[in-house]
């Protein structure tokens, strides 16, 4: 089976812009979770989607949002980018959200 894929791998944006990141889960997996990794905060949970519904959300501002499509592919959007949003954004998929999560390679976002 193909693994989790994320596009794009690298992105450079300026403050105030918005960005959309994409994640395709492992075939058959219906749960997609998103995480932000920064040197200071480590790996932090953003949100989880299952069957096109957000079931869980971490402690991030409303500028961070996401959605999931009927084929389980997911996107996350960050609006009004700030310098502090520079991070590695990771998505992970699992069968049902309460089992082992498999991660994609991540999208490195740099905000200038």
Partner 1 sequence: DQQVKQNSPSLSVQEGRISILNCDYTNSMFDYFLWYKKYPAEGPTFLISISSIKDKNEDGRFTVFLNKSAKHLSLHIVPSQPGDSAVYFCAAMSPGGTSYGKLTFGQGTILTVHP
Rounded to an integer, what is the distance from CA 68 to the centroid of its chain? 11
81/90 with CB nearer partner 1: 90
* Whether 75 contacts 23, CB under 8 Å: yes
16/61 with CB nearer partner 1: 61
The residue ranges that bind partner 1 (CB under 8 A) are: 4, 6, 31-33, 35, 42-43, 45, 48-50, 55-56, 58, 88, 90, 92, 94, 97-106, 108
Shortest spacing between CB 78 and partner 1, in angstroms: 19
**What is the rounded distance in angstroms from the CA atom of residue 48 to the CA atom of residue 10?**
22
Shortest spacing between CB 57 and partner 1, in angstroms: 9
Q: In what order do the strands lie in the sheet with 64-68?
A: 5-7, 19-24, 74-78, 64-68
């Amino acid at each position: 089976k193909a693994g989790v894929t994320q596009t794009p791998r690298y992105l450079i944006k300026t403050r105030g812009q918005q960005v959309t990141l994409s994640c395709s889960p492992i075939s058959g997996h219906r749960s997609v979770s998103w995480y932000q990794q920064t040197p200071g905060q480590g790996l932090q949970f953003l949100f989880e989607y299952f069957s096109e519904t957000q079931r869980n959300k971490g402690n991030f501002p409303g500028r961070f949002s996401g959605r999931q499509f009927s084929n389980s592919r997911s996107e996350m959007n960050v609006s009004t980018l700030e310098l502090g949003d520079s991070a590695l954004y990771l998505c992970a998929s699992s069968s049902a959200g309460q089992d082992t999560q498999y991660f994609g390679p991540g999208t490195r976002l740099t905000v200038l």
